Structure 1
Amino acid sequence: MENTSPARSKLRIPNDPMYRLLREGCITEFNVKKASGETVDLRGCDLRGLDLRGLNADGLDFSDSYLRQSDLRSVDFRNARLEGASINAA
């Protein structure tokens, strides 16, 4: 019997401009748009292997997201939601 975690079985790859900025490594542009009020929904997203250094994670919801092998150095997650997120080898 295969053990599939909820985070893996519901991963999303949305066609959302903010998500695409992260996928493309445009962290500064993401931070600017987020600060100007652009909405961000990262719940259940596939964010594995991304370089997220410098990301302003304040108030972001990463619930059930997959961050495996992402570079999270210097990212402050104190005010972010990480319930159910996978951060293995990040």
Structure 2
Amino acid sequence: MAQQPQAPGQQRPKGFTSSIPTPTKLPTGAGRKEWERFRRTFSNYSKATRLENEANELKTAVFGPCMGEDNAELLEGFDFADGEDKDNPA
């Protein structure tokens, strides 16, 4: 669902909605070329939907499913030096 324009002084509603289709999922076992293509596509999606202006926690919540279920599970297995890194898709 697309967000309605806001009158001056009104705050934008919390959360994230978009009528723009999500990026094509990253194939399981994808190589560097596919990963770079997905990363570019997700970056453009983030700009077009204004997701890039949202909190990292929300960005990550959208990023994982866009990658595809198998690939999102890989993200859960990563070790992060800083606990906050896990909520930063960059």
Q: Which structure has the highest helix share of the two? A: 2
Tell me if both proteins adopt one fold, taking TM over 0.5 as the criterion: no
Q: TM-score, normalised by structure 2?
A: 0.28
TM-score, normalized by length of structure 1?
0.28
